[in-house]
Structures are given as structure tokens and as C-alpha cells.
Amino acid sequence: MSQISQLLSYQQKDSELLKIEQEISGSEERKKYAQTKSYLNKASEKLDKLEAQSQGILTHLDALHKRYAEISETLKDFDHLDDLVEGGADLAFYQRNLIQLIDKIKALKAEIAAVTASAKETTEEYQAMRKKVIAAQKQYPELYAAFQEFKKSKQEQADAISKELESLAQGIDPEVLRKYQAKRSERIFPIICEIKMDRCSKCGIELSIADKDKVSAGKVVECENCHRILYKA
């Protein structure tokens, strides 16, 4: 039983430390710092994507240039059309060919316009993003320093509590303390709870028959539902 009262005083003191930890994690300083950090990480991925996209556009433009060169080459055939027709060539054949070429040029023009529009869009997006990233990068060291400063302002208080916790830990079964710390790191708090009417006072689940027997024998048990350490006062 004295083990339980020691654990309870430990937990009481530990709740003060938890409060400081929550003040730090819930602070504006941490939020601003964490937001900017996460933005910069995401922005770097996005900039990589935009770079890959612009590489794709360049490849596409290259292909369009090649097609244009091919058409230009074919158009050269028409330079000597007069001679060819005089030599008895089929004019209708060349007319059909010319119509096909004109269609190809039209399609090519439309495609070049689309690729150019997409290139413009990508460039604008990239530049806007870059501006934002540069601004965030400039801000980042200040935000980081402000967060560190805030943590430091709480450190002395936290250290004093930790020292008290160390002395309160004397006399607590190391195995129980290890279990306590494991639960604490799982964000369970409070960890030690009273049994009321054979139920966990935190989540309300009734104890099993085996656990009731253990409690009657003066032992502590673990709640099957919320995994807190339960004791009977």
C-alpha cells in the first residue's frame, strides 16, 4: 500500500512536468516553427515535381521541333512542282499530299500552343513557389530560435521537477516504474487510477474475476481496456 501512495505522489509531481511539456508542445512558438518546417519539406518535393514537369515539356518541344523539320523537308519537294508537272507528274497526287501537309501543320500549331501554355503555367507556378520558399527559409532560423528560447525558459522549472521525481522514485519497484514510464510515453495519463465499485474509475470497465481476486490480495492490476494501473484505496 505504501508503494501505491508513493506512486501517487510520483504521479502528482509528474503531472506538473506533463503540464510543462504540454505548454511547450501547444505553444505558438512550436506551432509556427513546425508549420514552416513542414511547409519547407513539402515545398521541396513540389519544386522537384515542377522541375520534372518542365523537363517533360522540354522533351515534348524537342519532339515537336523534329516533326516540324520533317514537314519542312517534305515541303522542299514542292519547290520544283512546275518542272515535275511539265515532266508529266500527276498534279492531283501532289494536291492530296499538300492538303495532308497543311493538316499536319495545323495540328502541330495547336500542339505547340498547348505546350507553350503549359510551359507558361509551370514557370509561373515555379516562380510563385520559389518566392514563398525563399521567404519561409528566411523566417525559419528566427522561428527555430524563438522555439528554442521558449523551451529554454521552461527548462529550469522542468529540471527542478525532474530532480524531485528522481527522489520520489526511490523506493518504488523499478519494474513498476518502468511500466509507468512506458505508459507515460504512450501518452496515457493519469496512469495510476483508483478502483471504484470494482470498476476502473477512468474508463468504467469492470474488473475480471481474476483481477478482483488479485486486488483482494492487495495487488495492483492493469485495466483490460485502457491499460492503466489500478489500485484499491
Residues forming the site for Zn ion (CB under 5 A): 200, 202-203, 223, 225-226
Rounded to the nearest whole angstrom, what is the least distance from the CB of residue 203 to Zn ion in the complex? 3
Distances (CA, A) of 61 to 78, 126, 169: 26, 19, 71
Cβ-contact 132, 43 below 8 angstroms: yes
Residue closer to Zn ion (CB basis): 151 or 199: 199
Q: 77: Cβ–Cβ under 8 A, 6 or more apart, which residues? A: 97
User: Nearer Cβ to Zn ion, position 72 or 208?
Assistant: 208
Quote the least distance from Cβ 222 to Zn ion, whole Å. Answer: 9
Q: Between 85 and 205, name the residue whose CB sits nearer to Zn ion.
A: 205
User: What is the nearest approach in angstroms of Zn ion to the Cβ of residue 224?
Assistant: 8
Give the residue with the Cβ less far from Zn ion, 8 or 129: 8
Q: What's the closest the beta carbon of residue 193 comes to Zn ion, in angstroms? A: 7
Cα→Cα distances 33→25, 137, 150, Å: 11, 11, 12
54 neighbors 119 (Cβ within 8 angstroms):
yes
Q: How many residues does the chain have?
A: 233
3-state secondary structure of 46: helix
Query: What's the half-sphere exposure (Cβ side, CA atoms, 13 Å) at 207?
Result: 25
C-beta closer to Zn ion: residue 29 or 211: 211
Give the nearer residue to Zn ion in terms of CB position, either 92 or 209: 209
Distance of CA 173 to the CA centre of its chain: 40
Q: Give the CA dihedral 53, 56, 61, 63, nearest 10 degrees.
A: -170
| Least CB distance to Zn ion at residue 226 (A) | 3
Query: Counting Cβ atoms within 10 Å, is residue 90 exposed (0-12), middle (13-18) or buried (19+)?
Result: exposed
Q: CB 210 → Zn ion: shortest distance, Å?
A: 16
